[in-house]
Amino acid sequence: MQFADVRDSPEYLIRRGMATRQTIVGCTQAEIGEVCRVQGVDSLPQQYELFLLLAGRRAGQFLRGTDFYFPDQADEEFVAHAHELLTENKVSHLMKPGSVVMGMHQGYQIYWIEPVGAVNFYSETETSVRRTWTTLAEFLFNEAEREANLLEYIHKNDFTIT
């Protein structure tokens, strides 16, 4: 069942076995302020700020292997690399002004949230956004569901994750 609000995401991750209460750690208001400063925005989209407060430092195994948690979003080199990826691929116009880089996977895929709250995913060499979710809650649910289903498949078929 999809959740409508990011407040539902920690409990969903726990139910799906991807996290425990101890492995979900939020950011402080000061850390959120640092994200705003580095990203060059006065404030974050409300749902993203809420997510950072709830699970901005860590959320169990969710998005393992992706730079998605604080302090990455407050790292000037991290943010610059995301913008460089778009510029080098001649698609910097895809990221609207005021957008915030949320995550990067292996240096060739980036996630950002627009001021209106839509989440975009871009992969190197593409000429357009690969996928857009209308809300952060939709993104979090879809990614959590995808990862949980993959983990179930791996465990069911006795594959080993290293």
The values of phi and psi at residue 122, to 5°, are -125, 140
Q: What is the pLDDT of residue 160?
A: 64
Identify the CATH class of 6-156.
alpha beta
Q: What is the pLDDT of residue 150?
A: 73
Collapsing DSSP to helix, strand or coil, 45 comes out as coil
What distance in Å separates the CA atoms of residue 95 and residue 83, rounded to the nearest whole number? 9
* Residue segments in the chain with a per-residue pLDDT below the cut of 70: 1, 151-155, 159-162
Q: What is the pLDDT of residue 7?
A: 93
Q: What is the pLDDT of residue 54?
A: 97
The answer to whether 112 touches 95, Cβ cutoff 8 Å, is yes
